[in-house]
Structure 1
Amino acid sequence: MNPTPRTIAALTFMTLAAPALAESWTPTWMASPQPVWSDTTVFATGLPERIAGATIRQPLTLGFPAERLRLVLSNVHGTHPLPVEAVTVAHSTGAADIGASRTVLFGGNTGTVIAPGAQAVSDPVALSAAAGARIAVTLTYGPDALAEDFHWDARETSYLIEADMPAPVVRAEVPARLSLSMVLSDRPARQVVIAMGDSITDGNGAPMDAMARWPDFLAHALAGEGIAVVNAGISGNRLLSDGMGRSVLARLEPDALAVPGTDTLVLLIGTNDIAWPGTLFAPGEEPMSLSRLQAGLMQVAARTHAQGMRLILGTVPPFAGALPETPMEATYWSPEKDALRRELNDWLRRADFHEGLVDFDRLLSAPGDDMRLNPAHDSGDHLHPGAEGNRTMARAVAETLMKGLEE
């Protein structure tokens, strides 16, 4: 049967309208979304009281070069539409100050309304930047905007400002990320690495505004090799249960498997699964078991490998004496919890379901006392490594990653 002239015309239009080649984009920065909590008796969110009509500027450091960028805004934990009236991006010149800004569009429009549970990806915007360059994204929210989706303790200061200007009046400093969840680069990468985990990966012990988390050091070390590294850590994260964000098993898909171009997942998790039961965070929770942790990690491996990705795991570092002079000190660590940590680490060292193991336990332990962090690596709270500990972790991860690529 011969096609009609109308069919031929329709097919011709479809061919002309379709793009000649789909573009690929590389993640160059990330902040995994969390739901905003209402109970601030233990941890304040750090967010402004209201974001309706507010303008918030968020400086950040790109881990991979770009000629053009796309921004990803998140409302995945929102229960209401999130109106964003305007977005701009510019090179950061320090604190809340910026250079000349570019307007960011969404489907050709200057604003967007993000549906509950959804994300919005911007149109490409021209902004040439090297790996390690500082940029700033400025969002102006609509009059009905509610803060339901954020990233806590970003180790980077954002700013509530009077208006989107190069040198604005700063109303307040905000130690969190709001709505902005990813920045994409148009430059192709040799490999894309997602670093996932809890507050050790999120960088809780690192100094503010210092880019001294272990994924920061890793990104800096590997950008010259054509490898992009982004940080998908969440403070309080657990493998099996929700904490200050969804569990690793629940967020594995959006925060790792679905991230454009991802080749390798580096996962350090387990401290909070072991430590939280019996504390103020989970007072009635049963103690964790090795079998449950094993089953959870095997599921991570199965799902990662089903995507054709590599999985690199880390052993759980020691944390005896953690969180001194806090209400958590008496219950966060115990000999029983430390015994489980050791069992898990020994099992990981013998396991063959991953493509590499970084032994953070042995790397960070104090000489002669492997229940505690080495003082040279300790941020001071006996739980989170400081900048030097993070630098040591990044070197070990880089060695494991590069060895895997060479094999």
Structure 2
Amino acid sequence: MGAWQLVPAWRRHAGAGRAADPRNLQIRGRMMKPITATTALLFFALSAGTVHSEEWTPAWAASPEAVWSSEFDFPTGLPDSIAGQTIRQPLTLAWGGDSLRITLSNSYGTKPLPVDEAMIALGGKAAALEGQELPILFGGKSEVTIPPGARITSDPVALPVEAGQRISVTLSYGEGAVAEDFHWDARETGFVLDEDQIDAEITARVTLSDVLTDRPADMVVVAIGDSITDGNGAALNEDVRWPDFLSRRLAPEGVAVINAGISGGRLLSNGMGESILARIDRDAFAVPGVDAVVLLIGTNDIAWPGSSFAPDETPMTLERLQAGIAAVSAKSKARDMRLIVGTVPPFRGALPGTPMAATYWTAGKDALRREFNDWLRKTDLVDGLVDFDAVLRDPDDASRLKPAYDSGDRLHPSAAGNEAMAAAISLELLEGEPR
């Protein structure tokens, strides 16, 4: 993060969107990040973790996870094969700029992943307007092969965008390409194309993990957690996850909000992705320019043991959850990072009509959830707290979601619930200082 200092208001940033005027010097109400001297752009980054210039700001993310086998309870949402396929992935940016980079991930791959071509275009439709797509290059070349366990960041592409802008990234895969790296719960429809015609639709992200822009933000916030943050239960293609609502509210204030949720995620153990303890460095603390992390986790740690997800797993304890938060806290303090935690929302009656309904929630699990929340409200291990439990619970039954905030599965919030969650997060809480 580094020291904070006063800077001229004419620096182009966030909501400015106007020509720079060196004569218009004023002090902003909020401290802004120092600006480094202009340096040569980093045109090609290749590593197990991605290297970026300090002046590149995250505008979108989808945390990678390993593709699971067909024996798992949920289908992957990917095509049977990506070899020789062209896949277009629409998305909504949380931040604007004049140039973009994308990051492609083969983090969990066991073999090289060939990408023959990458293109980018404005708009989120399946078919880009003819002549409107721009090529994405990697070290000046249109094709790139991503080694096993690596991620690669592209050269800059000149494409002016604003926060809330819809874009599409299209990847054409080489022969022999295998998807071992994906993001399961995209909350967005992607398209497998054949001559720019839709051949199939997919519901997962594949290979694409980050978009960055060249416009500095006053503040970068990463929301990380499980399916409640990832957006399960939210309507597809509508950007109604709680980080989406938060992003739309704070972008005009100079804040870029990135979603690093993974459905099925847990604090202590691997779930449908790696545990928070295993991935928070990569997906949150190492994000370029990050200032604050909002962590909502614990539902699956509490609910999975004894359910069909983990039938033989030892029941969770308060002491283990406390130790997990302490470990995350130590990581955040070592990075000089502001850590905000959320209380765990209620989930009585979760997943009705499924084999998990009888075991996912129990009175004992709810008692542990309440104990954990009470501890979170008091602990000094974190820098701030947002009481999602208080926001979402039914005033007539604190073990259940408020009906208006229930997506229908009694576990994940509705769009109204997600909006209420975002409204509970103030800029003052994120900054840690009065405005």
Do they fold alike, i.e. is TM over 0.5? yes
Preserved CA contact (<8 Å) 1:218 1:398: no
Paired position in structure 2 for 1:90: 121
Shift of 1:98: 4.4
- The match for 1:198 is 226
1:130 paired to 2:162 = yes
Give the match for residue 226 of structure 1. 254
| 8 Å contact from structure 1 (residues 59, 96) kept in 2 | no
Unaligned runs of 5+ residues in structure 1 are 1-17
Is 1:140 aligned with 2:168? no
Instruction: Label 1:322 to 1:92 Cα distance change in 2 as closer, same or farther (>3 A).
Output: same
Structure 2 segments unaligned to the other structure (5+ residues): 1-38, 43-52
Residue deviations 1:200-249 (CA, integer Å, cap 9, x gap): 00000100000000001111111001100000000000000001000000
Which residue of the other structure, out of 325, 339, 343, is the alignment partner of 1:311?
339
> Could you tell me which amino acid in structure 1 is paired with residue 380 of structure 2?
D
Q: Secondary structure at the match of 1:46?
A: coil
Q: Residue 150 of structure 2 corresponds to which residue in structure 1?
A: 118
1:179 maps onto 2:207 in alignment: yes
Q: SS of the counterpart of 2:381?
A: coil
> After superposition, where does 1:148-297 map in structure 2 within 5 Å?
148-163=180-195, 168-297=196-325
Q: CA separation in 2, counterparts of 1:66 and 1:160?
A: 28
- Give aligned-pair identity as a percent: 59
**1-structure distance, mates of 2:225, 2:122:** 29
Q: How far apart are residue 23 of structure 1 and its match?
A: 5.3
Q: Which residue of 2 aligns with 1:28?
A: 59
Aligned equivalents of 1:34, 1:293: Cα separation in 2: 23
Change (3 A) 1:276 1:112: same
2:392 pairs, out of 352, 361, 364, with 364
Instruction: Give 1:97 deviation, angstroms.
Output: 3.6
TM-score by structure 1 length?
0.92
Q: Tell me, yes or no, if the aligned pair for 2:66 and 2:182 is still in contact at 8 Å.
A: yes
Deviation at 1:399, TM superposition (A): 4.9
Deviations 1:305-344 (A, max 9, x none): 1111100000000000000000110000000000000000
Which residue does 2:77 correspond to in 1? 46
Tell me how far apart the structure 2 counterparts of residues 152 and 374 of structure 1 sit (CA, whole Å): 27
Q: 2 CA distance for matches of 1:93 and 1:74? A: 21
1:374 to 397, 402, 410: 402
Matched position secondary structure for 1:204 = coil
Instruction: Say whether the 8 Å CA contact 1:91–1:98 is kept in structure 2.
Output: no
Q: Secondary structure at the match of 2:247?
A: helix
CA contact (8 A) 1:290 1:340 kept: yes
Q: Structure 2: how far apart are the matches of 1:145 and 1:197?
A: 30
CA distance in 2, matches of 1:65, 1:200: 26
Deviation at 1:400, TM superposition (A): 5.3
Contact 1:191 1:228 in 2 (8 A): yes
SS at match of 2:55: coil
Normalised by the length of structure 2, the TM-score is: 0.87
Instruction: Tell me the amino acid that sits aligned with residue 106 of structure 1.
Output: F
Counterpart residue identity of residue 272, structure 1: N
Please give the alpha-carbon distance, in whole angstroms, between the structure 2 residues aligned to 1:52 and 1:207: 30
Structure 2 distance, partners of 1:60, 1:266, is 22
Q: Is the 8 A contact 1:32 1:151 kept in 2?
A: yes
Distance of 1:354 and 1:400 partners within structure 2: 15
Give distance in 2, aligned partners of 1:68 and 1:111: 20
